[in-house]
Amino acid sequence: MSKKQIATSSAPAAIGPYSQAVQVDSMLFISGQLPLVPETGKLLEGSIDEKTRQVMKNIKAILDEAGGRLDDIVKTTIFLIDLADFQKVNAAYGSYFKEVPPARATIQVAALPLGAPVEIEAVAVVKSL
């Protein structure tokens, strides 16, 4: 088994003792991404749609660093503060998957880091190390 940390300045830096992503052979495990703007490290201002798109941009940047693409994602978990946002988040999220969308779970939680309303983690299958 080979294990590699994936890190890019095109996505927000980790705000704790974790990696943006870890690749083990062809499996890429992307840590939960918040709607943080990489250049500022601050939460994006705007609607839940815009915040979801920022999360997906962050995930894409990490995938790019690992040599992958969004269609390589096989599983995601979406964490929402308010399930009333589900339809808007679903529409924004779904626009990133043109072919077979990944398996997914959506969970309402009491709180997320930095007061974010949405967080998404992902697992992808990419080129082996």
pLDDT of residue 127: 84
Report the C-alpha gap between 42 and 21 in whole angstroms.
20
Range of the domain at 80: 3-125
Mean pLDDT of 37-57: 97
Q: What is the pLDDT of residues 61-89, one digit of tens each?
A: 999 999 999 999 999 999 999 999 999 99
Q: For position 51, which CATH number holds?
A: 3.30.1330.40
The CA-based angle 90-92-94, given to 5 degrees, is 60
The structure's pTM equals 0.96
The mean pLDDT value for 28-35 works out to 98
Q: Considering its fold, how many domains does the chain have in total?
A: 1
- pLDDT value for 129: 65
> Could you report the per-residue pLDDT of 2-19, keeping only the tens digit for each?
899 999 999 999 888 999
